[in-house]
Amino acid sequence: MSRYISELIKARVREAARDRCGYCQSLQKYVLGILEIEHIIPTAASGSDDEDNLWLSCRLCNGYKGMQTSAVDPVSNQTVPLFNPRTQKWSEHFAWSEDGVYVSGLTACGRGAVVALQLNNCPFAHF
């Protein structure tokens, strides 16, 4: 089933996301292909097409995310809600390595997302 999201809403989401992937932070100008409008709560998990459930994602992060809505923190083994790029601040949950190549999680949510979305396998993650 194809879903309809208006061009106006897509433009507003792109602007709110500052033209970067909400997960690995890749800027549109460094990504081959266009960043995708993604559903923060996947439609398969009853997520809506409403603007507050939409964000920008690169194809890799969106692909790894799939239908996941939670992740397991590899330190505490707790299941935590998946990072929400619309309501949570990236820099509170993640940090770049000093050389800018790797992302590490600062919180249970951040660590869970690094694993669930394979953020360090993303070839764009060093941008």
3-state secondary structure of 35: coil
Q: Which of the ranges 18-26, 48-56, 66-74, 102-110 carries the binding residues for Zn ion, by CB under 5 A? A: 18-26
Q: Is 37 in the site for Zn ion (CB under 5 A)?
A: no
**109 near Zn ion (CB under 5 A):** no
Q: Which residue has the tokens 């800018």?
A: 100
Of 58 and 71, nearer to Zn ion (C-beta) is: 58
Nearer to Zn ion, 24 or 54 (CB): 24
Using rule CB under 5 A, residue 61 touches Zn ion:
yes
Residue 58 CB, nearest approach to Zn ion (Å):
3
Q: Return the HEC string of 52-112.
A: HHEEEECHHHHHHHCCCCEEECCCCCCEEECCCCCCCCHHHHEEECCCCCCEEECCHHHHH
Residues that bind Zn ion (CB under 5 A): 21, 23-24, 58, 61
